Amino acid sequence: MKATLLRCDQGNAVVEFALLAPVYLGMLIGAIYVSLVAITYVNLHFAVEAAARCAAIQKTVCVDSATTQSHAQNQFIGFGVTPAFHATVQACGNQVTGSTTLIFQAAAYSVTVPLSATACYP
């Protein structure tokens, strides 16, 4: 009886799944979070570029810094975050900066990712 139990391999798939599933699941969730950070950064960068361009070219739409910041806010497509935008005139031209913070929480662990982007258009 004991020798037959040592040669039995009926539960191998379950044991392999139990060992490897947390690793694959962690990699999948990590890839999703990295993609979320990348998409948010790209959208933030697009919004500040569009607002800086608007302040330099479309003087009827982006009249002052408040309307330029509003334009940047309208251009941003985010996932549950609201960035802060600031528009100024610098030596390089019309400069718009945006910053936000992504917070990822899992049980008792929390990760904070600060994001910022700056664009200047002459």
Give the residue with greater pLDDT, 80 vs 53.
53
pLDDT at 11: 81
Buried b (16+ CB within 10 A) or exposed e, 63-98: eebebbbbbbbebbeeeeeebebebeeeeeebbbbb
Average pLDDT value for residue range 21-47: 94
Q: Which one, of 105, 119, 113, 107, lies nearest residue 56 by Cα?
A: 119
Q: Which one, of 76, 79, 81, 78, lies nearest residue 96 by Cα?
A: 76
Average pLDDT value for residue range 90-112: 91
Q: Is the pTM of this model over 0.85?
A: no
Cα–Cα distance, 52 to 44 (Å, whole number): 12
pLDDT at 113: 94
Cα–Cα distance, 19 to 58 (Å, whole number): 59
Output phi, psi for 78, to 5 deg: -120, 175
Average pLDDT value for residue range 58-84: 93
pLDDT at 59 over 90: no
